[in-house]
Every structure is written in structure tokens, then in C-alpha cells.
Amino acid sequence: MLYLMKVYALVAFVVFGAAGFAILFTFGWLHLKEYASARRRIQWSLSRLLTHPLPLSNRFAISRSFSRTNPRIQFVHHKTQ
């Protein structure tokens, strides 16, 4: 009786150990794919930004964009000295 209990425990350990390893491997694989995909998107975005800069990405264009929207509306009051 004790012998069969040890055998069943060993079989259960192998089966549940294999199932746990498979679940852990799948979980790790999905996270690795997600990380690789995010890294590829970040590298693509950075390379695109460096090769094709946005027209409003410099400070001068951003500061001028408010005054070009509507000449009658002044968002920032400038003092002349």
C-alpha cells in the first residue's frame, strides 16, 4: 500500500511538474514576444523620427504655431521694450 502511494506521488509530481513547466514556458514566451514587439516599435519610431523629423518638432515652430492660428486672438501677451 505504501509502495503504491509513493508511485502515485511520483507520477503526480511528474505530470503536474510537466504541466507547470509548460504553463511557465508559455507565460515566459508570451512576455518575451511582447517585449520584442515593443522594442521593435520603439526602434522603428526613433529611426523614423531621426530620418523624418516632424515639422512642428522644434521650439521655434511650436512658438509660432499659436500666432498663426488666428491673428485676432492673442494667446500670449508680449511686452516690447
| Residue 53, pLDDT score | 61
Place 6 in a pLDDT band, splitting at 50, 70 and 90.
very high
| DSSP letter string, the chain | -HHHHHHHHHHHHHHHHHHHHHHHHHHHHHHHHHHHHHHHHHHHHHHHHHHS--TT-SHHHHHHHHHHH-TT--SSPPPP-
CB contact set of 67 (below 8 Å; sequence gap of 6+): 74, 75
pLDDT digits (tens, 9 = 90+) for 37-80: 999 998 888 887 777 665 555 555 555 555 555 555 555 555 55
| Residue 70, pLDDT score | 54
| Residue 48, pLDDT score | 79
pLDDT digits (tens, 9 = 90+) for 10-33: 999 999 999 999 999 999 999 999
The angle formed by the CA atoms of residues 18, 22 and 23, to the nearest 5 degrees, is 120
| Residue 52, pLDDT score | 67
CB contact set of 61 (below 8 Å; sequence gap of 6+): 55
